[in-house]
Amino acid sequence: MNDFTEFEKKLDELRRKLDEIDRAREELLKLSREMKRKATLTISSIHANRVPEAKEKMEEAEGILEELEAYRNYEIFYPITREAMQELVEAAVFLRIVSENRLDIPDYDIHPSPILTGLADAVGELRRYTLDLLRKSKIEEAERLIGFMEKIYFSLIAFSYPDKVVPGLRGKIDMMRLSLERTKSDLISAMLLTKEKPF
C-alpha cells in the first residue's frame, strides 16, 4: 500500500503559502483602493482651491503607503499597487507645484515605473489648472505652470523604455505632447483676448 503522507504534507504546505498570499492580496487591494481614493481627493481639492484640505488628504494617502510596506516582499505587490502608486505620485507632484511653486519627485521608496507615469499624468492636471487660470485672465501664473509642464515633458521623453519595463509611458508621453501644444495655443488665445479688451 502506498504511503502518501509526505505528498500530502507538501500539498498542505503549498496550500498554506497560497492562503497567505491570498490574504495579502485582499489587504493589498483594500489599501491600494483607499490610497488611490485619497490621492484622487487631493487632486480634486487642489482644483477646488482647497489646498489645506489637499495637504491633509495627501498625508492620509502617504500614511497608507507606509502600511503597504508590510506586504512589499510578496510578488503580487507591484502588479496590485502600481496604479495607486501612480495616482499618489501624480497628486504629490501636482500639489507641490501649486502650493510650493516647485517641481520635485517625492521620496517614496517605490518602483520607478509608477513614479514616471505619475509624473506624466500630472501634466494633464496642470493643463486643467492652467485653463482655469486662463479663464480668470491670470496669464503670468498660467505661463509659469506651462513651464512646469514643459520641464516634465522634455525630461520624460528621454526615458525610451518598452512597455514591459514602464507600462503605458510611451502613450502618456504622446498625450503630454498634445496637452502641452493645446495649452500653449490656449495661452496665446487668452493673451490676444486680453490685449483686445478695452481699458
pLDDT digits (tens, 9 = 90+) for 89-109: 999 999 999 999 999 999 999
pLDDT above 80 (res 123): yes
Q: Which residues of 14-50 are buried (b: 16+ CB within 10 A; e: fewer)?
A: eeeeeeeeeebbebbeebbebbbbbbbbbbebbeeee
pTM, two decimal places: 0.91
What are the tens digits of pLDDT across the range 52-91?
A: 999 999 999 999 999 999 999 999 999 999 999 999 999 9
pLDDT of residue 36: 98
Residues 6+ apart with CB under 8 A from 175: 120, 123, 124
> C-alpha grid cell for residue 91?
497628486
Q: Are 196 and 140 in contact (CB under 8 A)?
A: no
Nearest residue to 55 (alpha-carbon basis) of 64, 63, 46: 46
> How would residue 5 be classed by pLDDT, with cut points 50, 70 and 90?
confident
Q: Where are the domains of the chain?
A: 1-81, 111-199
Residues 6+ apart with CB under 8 A from 179: 123, 124, 127, 149
Which residue intervals of 70-138 are DSSP H helices? 77-100, 112-135
Which residue intervals of 48-69 are DSSP H helices? 51-68
Half-sphere exposure of 171 (CA within 13 A, CB side): 4
C-alpha dihedral, 45 to 50 to 104 to 159, nearest 10°? 30
The highest-level CATH class for domain 1-81 is mainly alpha
Q: Which residue has the cell 507538501?
A: 10
C-alpha dihedral, 118 to 103 to 165 to 29, nearest 10°? -30
Fold of the domain built from segment(s) 111-199? Methane Monooxygenase Hydroxylase; Chain G, domain 1 (1.20.58)
Q: Give the separation between CA 47 and CA 128, rounded to whole angstroms.
A: 8
Region 131-143 average pLDDT = 95
Query: Comparing 1-81 with 111-199, is the CATH topology the same?
Result: yes
pLDDT of residue 173: 95
> How would residue 134 be classed by pLDDT, with cut points 50, 70 and 90?
very high
Region 31-39 average pLDDT = 98
> How would residue 175 be classed by pLDDT, with cut points 50, 70 and 90?
very high
